[in-house]
Amino acid sequence: MKVAALSLPVILGFGFFPFGDNNGGELSGQGDRGKINRGLTRLSGQNHYFWLPNKRVPMKKHNFSAGPCILAPEVLQQASQAILNFDDLDLSLIEISHRSKNFVAVMEEAQALTRELLHVPEDYEVLFLQGGASLQFVMVPFNLMQLEGGKAAYLNTGSWASKALKEGVRLGEAVEVASSKDQNFNYIPKGFGIPEDADYFHFTSNNTIFGTSVREVPLTEVPVVCDMSSDIFSRQFPLTDYDLIYAGAQKIWGRLALLW
């Protein structure tokens, strides 16, 4: 199965300069190169802006690290309001019961949106858990590896895959079916076999540290487990090729220590 990545546009300030000048006027192209240059100079100052037709909008800083993502201003505003007064209850979202209808509605909407975006079939469950993706390094073998004679297969393609493998070894036989460690994880191994008696096969879809990603899910009859922390909503993929997907939500769509 080949996975086609969908590009996510990153909006930088200079990308909007052709649409307006410092006074909200229109720029027509080459004749306004000086205005564009002044705009670039303006960006070097303390206040940053990008230009849209007839308006000037403050430019949000972008965090390009492999950790927490930035959030849209609308999300931050709504979250701030929910902390102060959620649903006009005169209580904060973090002050109400997690069993209340107001809070349950938040969780149900989040699950519904996840199902819509990823085309999740009805026979799959969507869970939001604490602990981040790293906790699943041990929770996966805890839940999927047999207590007696347990065995799992791991593809080792980077730092996070190595940590997952390390936790699997603690609970049973964790077989490293292939690894790219010999070349500092700068490639994805091909042509490896997966033991038919393994309780599951685990791999990491995208390796931000080393710049590699798995484009084909290996064909196997054993359950497929994937850590998609850094690319889960960046592309479309047949979800039914996987039996379990987990992802640290703070990577590209949420707050710290949340797990999808």
Closest CA to 102 of 123, 113, 88: 88
Q: What is the 3 state secondary structure string of 77-124?
A: HHHHHHHHCHHHCCCCHHHCCCCCHHHHHHHHHHHHHHHHHHCCCCCC
CB 15 within 8 A of CB 50: yes
Max Cα–Cα distance, the chain, nearest Å: 76
125 to each of 64, 132, 202, 231, how far by Cα in Å? 31, 18, 19, 19
Residues 6+ apart with CB under 8 A from 199: 144, 145, 146, 150, 151, 152, 172, 222, 223
- List the structure tokens of 64: 């390009």
- For the annotated catalytic residues, the residue numbers are 160, 227, 251
Residues 6+ apart with CB under 8 A from 227: 133, 136, 160, 161, 164, 202, 203, 204, 205, 246, 247
56: left (phi over 0), alpha (psi -120 to 50) or beta: beta
